[in-house]
Amino acid sequence: MKTAVVYFSLGGATRSFARAEANARGADLFEAVPEKKYNPFSALVRGCHAAMRQKSVPLSEAPDLTGYGHIVLMAPVWGGFPAPPFNSIAGLLPRGAEVEALLVSASGSSEKSRAKVRALLEARGCRVVAQRDIRSHR
Ligand SMILES: Cc1cc2nc3c(=O)[nH]c(=O)nc-3n(C[C@H](O)[C@H](O)[C@H](O)COP(=O)(O)O)c2cc1C
Indicate the top mutation candidate among 77, 116, 138 to test ligand 1's pocket, ranked by most ligand atoms within 8 A of CB. 77
Write the pLDDT tens digit of every residue in 109-137.
Answer: 999 999 999 999 999 999 999 999 999 98
Query: What does CATH list as the number for 3-135?
Result: 3.40.50.360
- Within the chain, residue ranges assigned H as helices are 13-25, 40-42, 48-52, 84-90, 114-123
Could you tell me if the CB of 84 is within 6 A of ligand 1? Answer: no
Helix H or strand E encompassing 7: strand 3-7
Q: Which residue, judged by its Cα, is nearest atom 16 of ligand 1?
A: 105
Write the pLDDT tens digit of every residue in 95-104.
Answer: 999 999 999 9
113: Cβ–Cβ under 8 A, 6 or more apart, which residues? 77, 80, 81, 82
The domains of the chain are located at 3-135
Residue 62: pLDDT band (50, 70, 90) is: confident
- Residue 1 CA, ligand 1 centroid: distance in Å: 32
